[in-house]
Amino acid sequence: MFKSLKGIGLLLIANVLIFITLSITFNLLVSVILPAFGIDLQGAVHQQDLLWALVIGFGGAFISLAFSKQMARAMLDCQQITQPRTQAEHVVYGAVQEISQRLHIQMPEVWVYEAPDPNAFATGPSKNNSMVAVSTGLLSNLNEQEVKAVLAHEMGHVYNGDMFTTTVLAGLMNTFVYFISMWVRRLFAERDQAMLGMVLSFVLQIVLGILAMIPIMWFSRRREFGADAFSARVYGKDAMISALRGIERWVTRAQPEYTTQDPLVTFKISGKTGGAMSLFASHPSIEERVAALQQLRS
């Protein structure tokens, strides 16, 4: 109970500090910086828009985080492991239990979901309220040590609080998207062009929302390296490298069907992307991850 209240308190403090920072930045920009360049927006920009943008941007992000486990379970054909029955279930459950005890955190829920591709993920509002899920494809394509390395990687996400920090970043990006779109809508409304302002506001939300995904996905790729390093500390870097190589072999065999038919390929550990789409990939390439692991000290 105390840990839960502490987490809520930290969340509220984080939101207040972010709002104060944005407010100060807002006032400096509108009152000092822009007027210095001859741009006067003081009558057109309203601070209450920033407040509403903050509430909507962070509110949506944290509601999604709060219900992330429920949404994940609803979207997948999955089964929770509470009493392992098969050898594979013993490996999965035992690895998560072992790492949780080592880290002194509450053991996440452990789930297995039906999917042919070798994948795994972790989600949940906090490190003491989370879930770890692996696909049946992961269990059938990797050996026990490789599966445990992937689970350690996911536990790295849990322990590092990656879900929370990603949510804060998403909330910040959403705030700016909503604020700019609301400012444009208000600006045109004050010029008796409310319909045009509404259309432009809608288009801006879409365009800026897409652009906001770039820094969010960049951070997501950075955190993957951290989770890989965590796995290397738990089971050794060779196990994680072997797991990534095993996933890479599966992707090579499954292409091009896998990459052309799976709309979520850029968000998966086994996804391969190139060109502009790499900016929107949640995971670095396997080659980059292996290279980073090889540079770690044994």
- 129-175 pLDDT, tens per residue? 999 999 999 999 999 999 999 999 999 999 999 998 888 888 888 88
Report yes or no on 135 lying in a domain.
Answer: yes
Catalytic-role residue among 109, 146, 154, 224? 154
Domain count, the chain: 1
Report yes or no on 65 lying in a domain.
Answer: no
- 253-288 pLDDT, tens per residue? 876 555 444 433 434 555 455 566 778 888 898 999
Peptide bond into 256 cis (omega under 30): yes
Distance separating alpha carbons of residues 100 and 295, to the nearest angstrom: 27
Q: What is the pTM of this model?
A: 0.77
Which structural domain range is residue 102 located in? 70-162
Task: For the chain, list residues with pLDDT below 50.
Answer: 1-8, 259-267, 271
Residues in the chain: 298
Report yes or no on 179 lying in a domain.
Answer: no
Report yes or no on 138 lying in a domain.
Answer: yes
| CATH number, position 85 | 3.30.2010.10
Report yes or no on 111 lying in a domain.
Answer: yes
154 classed as catalytic: yes
Report yes or no on 129 lying in a domain.
Answer: yes
DSSP-derived secondary structure for 62-101: HHHHHTHHHHHHHHS-EEE-SS--SHHHHHHHHHHHHHHH
Query: How would you label 198-207 residue by residue, b for 16+ Cβ within 10 Å and e otherwise?
Result: eebbeebbee
Report yes or no on 212 lying in a domain.
Answer: no
